[in-house]
Homo-oligomer: A and B are copies of this chain.
């Protein structure tokens, strides 16, 4: 895999996503992607080892887009509580929108999430680092009293998983549930815990 032509790489992924949308995962193949780009299939193989490799890269790109979305809340000004809430809401809505607008890509994404715990771990780590940044700002701003920032960022990650994990979001959408009031209630509790003066609650 070469990295010298990121634009080419990105275009291959765009075309692959389009083919998955139109024909499904099974019927998408390297030869057709090459044809649609006016390239030989060996040109594709300079960037990706296989069709599976292209699909993994598609999922990784989706994850990178979500990290960019979350990063906006980490880097902005304003109350840490508000930014924490905004970050979680944005990720939840992004998952929900993708599920509705792009069901084929969502299916591919869900499958790869189940098969590639390493990609998921990377993603979780990036997200947790962004949350940690917001919490750290919250301490600096005097909003939060947090003993261990890494632990607190992990608490946020774990407590909101149900609102951002594609399988859970999909179940809620299928059941016609609006998860946002529940999401706000969980964020309320987290903010309340981080703002509380007692760092070690009684057993």
A102 at the interface (CB under 8 A from B): no
Which residues in B have their C-beta under 8 angstroms from that of A198?
Answer: 192, 195-196
User: Is A193's CB under 8 angstroms from B189's CB?
Assistant: yes
Number of this chain's copies in the assembly equals 2
Contact of A188 among B182, B186, B201 (CB under 8 A): B201
* CB of A82, distance to nearest CB on chain B (Å): 5
Interface SS majority for chain A: helix
A154 at the interface (CB under 8 A from B): yes
For the complex, what is the distance from the CA of A190 to the CA of B187, rounded to whole Å? 11
Which residues in B have their C-beta under 8 angstroms from that of A152?
Answer: 185, 189
Contact of A171 among B117, B155, B163, B192 (CB under 8 A): B117
* CB of A97, distance to nearest CB on chain B (Å): 21
Q: Mark A71-97, 1 if CB is under 8 A from B, else 0.
A: 000000001011001000000000000
* CB of A188, distance to nearest CB on chain B (Å): 6
Q: Which residues of A contact B (CB under 8 A)?
A: 79, 81-82, 85, 117, 121, 143, 151-152, 154-155, 158-159, 161-163, 167-168, 171, 174-175, 182, 185-186, 188-196, 198, 200-203
